[in-house]
């Protein structure tokens, strides 16, 4: 009724003006353009489709515009006498709402790489006649493509059933309790049970003493996947020292070196380690080698031989041990009697024969049997060799040869034969002739 009143008012105004004047007023010219097929109504009177040119008397008019696929639009227009006006009309496209939901709910809707939200989701301003495409993604379910389109402005609902794509997995390892990472993320230790979506995964297993293991698995939905993975043990090592050094090392009866030595290629196991050295008792020890680790052991060898220290007098005496020359006595300091000791090491425990000799000894050679004990130093009593080493001439003309044991400024101690030793005053002697130790 209101729109009709506007129109009637304008018409009446035009008639009154015409009646009061001899010349009709000049009308306004309105050129209307818009979407193809747009219908134009002034008041309640359809006046045509765009583009259209209207001649109207001055006044106020209510225009209505409508085109297929567009929202309706109303506009109040005030026209002046003889006015020329262009009216380009822009209409908003008609849209609809679409509700997309899934079973189960919570799937992400992705369109052109952009996440629009999670289901259920209402999409506004959906243009009729256009097809839309998106992807539905949800952990544990297969990705689904969804399409929607509307023919008009009426709301529309789309329901999508998602297919579960979970795979039950069980990962085992030798040894157990290996750390396991899936696609670079540590998830626990073996044995590991869980659920994964179908697809490819990179597995990594790590355990102390073993080389890391990487594997790729492909999982298909609907299956139960169970697999055991064997890790390769790292070799173990051992550092072996001994007292004394230089002992031969045997691993399970196989010679592997001389102490100090380091072995780095032993698989994990229990080994028998033995050290041997001449003159010492062998030492054996059992050692457990752990994969990837290096152990250290120190073996102390006990001497299996004895030592002999001989004090043989005087100087110049040849000394033999078990028929083998071991030295000639040498003077120790200014004393005519004292000599440097002769030491022999590495002797087997038991009885040994010491023989002393000299061209001027009486008797010319003599043998002594000595007991040597394992791990000990044996020092027998001093061995005195009676040696003719001087000739003395008395003032009365007598001459004697024998052994000169000791001497000082006033006397000498002299023996003409073994077992006899007496003191002689230097005042009673004409001369003392020393014999060379040849």
Q: Enter the pTM of the model.
A: 0.43
Output the 3-class SS for the chain. Answer: CHHHHHHHHHHHHHHHHHHHCCCCCCCEEEEEECCCCCEEEECCEEEEECCEEEEECCEEEEEEEECCCECCEEEEEEECCCCEEEEECCCCECCEEEEEEEECCCCEEEECCEEEEECCEEEEEECECCCEEEEEECCCECCEEEEECECCCCCEEEEEECCECEEEEEEEEECCCCEEEECCEEEEECCEEEEEECEEEEEEEECCCECCEEEEEEECCCCEEEEEEECCECCEEEEEEEECCCCEEEECCEEEEECCEEEEEECCEEEEEEEECCCECCEEEEEEECCCCEEEEEEECCECCEEEEECEECCCCEEEECCEEEEECCECCCCCCCECCEEEEEECCEEEEEEEECCCECCCEEEEEEEECCCCEECCCCEECCECCEEEEECCCCEEEEEEEEECCCEEEEECCCCCCEEEEHHHEEEEEECCCC
Residue 119 maps to which CATH number?
2.60.40
* pLDDT tens per residue, range 72-129: 999 999 999 999 999 999 998 888 999 999 999 999 999 999 999 999 999 988 988 8
- Are 19 and 72 in the same domain? yes
* pLDDT tens per residue, range 44-80: 999 999 999 999 999 999 999 999 888 899 999 999 9
* pLDDT tens per residue, range 369-423: 999 988 889 999 999 888 888 899 999 999 999 888 888 999 999 989 888 889 9
Q: Please name which of 77, 105, 79 lies closest in space to residue 27, comparing C-alpha atoms.
A: 79
Contact status, residue 214 vs residue 232, Cβ threshold 8 Å:
no
| Domain C-terminal end among 199, 230, 261 | 230
| Domain C-terminal end among 283, 300, 317 | 300
Q: Please name which of 164, 167, 171 lies closest in space to residue 186, comparing C-alpha atoms.
A: 171
Q: Please name which of 433, 429, 434, 424 lies closest in space to residue 394, comparing C-alpha atoms.
A: 429
Domain that holds residue 135: 96-161
* pLDDT tens per residue, range 191-200: 999 988 888 9
- Are 402 and 378 in the same domain? no
- Are 258 and 281 in the same domain? yes
5 pLDDT higher than 60: no
- Are 118 and 151 in the same domain? yes
- Are 34 and 81 in the same domain? yes
The total number of structural domains in the chain stands at: 6
- Are 215 and 273 in the same domain? no
Residue 196 maps to which CATH number?
2.60.40.10
- Are 310 and 380 in the same domain? yes
- Are 205 and 253 in the same domain? no
Q: What pLDDT score was predicted for residue 8?
A: 42
Residue 341 maps to which CATH number?
2.60.40.2070
Whole-angstrom distance, CA of residue 267 vs CA of residue 330: 58
């Amino acid at each position: 009724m209101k729109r009709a009143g506007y129109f009637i008012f304008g018409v009446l105004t035009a008639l009154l003006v015409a009646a009061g004047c001899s010349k009709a007023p000049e009308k306004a010219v309105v050129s209307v353009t818009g979407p193809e097929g747009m219908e134009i109504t002034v008041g309640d009177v359809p006046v045509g489709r765009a583009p259209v040119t209207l001649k109207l008397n001055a006044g106020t008019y209510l225009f209505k515009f409508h085109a297929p696929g567009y929202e309706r639009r109303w506009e109040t227009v005030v026209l002046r006498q003889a006015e020329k006006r262009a009216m380009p009309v822009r209409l908003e496209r008609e849209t609809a709402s679409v509700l997309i939901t899934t079973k189960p709910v919570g799937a992400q809707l992705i369109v052109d790489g952009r996440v629009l939200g999670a289901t259920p989701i209402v999409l506004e301003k959906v243009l009729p006649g256009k097809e839309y495409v998106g992807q539905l993604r949800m952990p544990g379910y297969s990705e689904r493509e969804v399409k929607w389109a509307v023919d008009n402005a009426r709301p529309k609902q789309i329901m999508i059933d998602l297919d579960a794509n979970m795979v039950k997995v069980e990962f085992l390892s030798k040894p157990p309790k290996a750390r396991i990472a899936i696609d670079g993320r540590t998830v626990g230790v073996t044995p590991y049970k869980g659920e994964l979506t179908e697809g490819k995964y990179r597995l990594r297993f790590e355990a102390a003493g073993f080389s890391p293991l990487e594997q790729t698995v492909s999982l298909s939905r609907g299956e139960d996947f169970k697999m055991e993975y064997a890790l390769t043990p790292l070799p173990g090592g051992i550092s072996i020292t001994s007292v004394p050094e230089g002992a031969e090392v045997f691993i399970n009866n196989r010679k592997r070196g001389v102490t100090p030595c380091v072995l780095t290629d032993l698989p994990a196991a229990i080994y028998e380690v033995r050290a041997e050295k001449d003159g010492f008792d062998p030492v054996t020890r059992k050692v457990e080698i752990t994969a990837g680790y290096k152990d250290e052991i120190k073996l102390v060898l006990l001497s299996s031989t004895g030592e002999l220290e001989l004090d043989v007098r005087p100087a110049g005496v040849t000394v033999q041990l078990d028929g083998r020359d071991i030295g000639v006595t040498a003077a120790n300091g200014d004393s005519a009697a004292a000599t440097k000791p002769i030491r022999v090491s590495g002797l087997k425990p038991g009885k040994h024969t010491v023989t002393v000799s000299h061209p001027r000894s009486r008797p010319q050679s003599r043998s002594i049997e000595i007991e040597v004990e394992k791990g000990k130093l044996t020092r027998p009593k001093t061995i005195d060799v009676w040696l003719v080493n001087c000739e003395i001439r008395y003032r009365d003309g007598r001459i004697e040869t024998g052994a000169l044991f000791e001497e000082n400024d006033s006397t000498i101690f002299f023996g003409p034969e073994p077992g006899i030793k007496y003191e002689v005053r230097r005042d009673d002697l004409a001369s003392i002739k020393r014999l060379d130790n040849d």
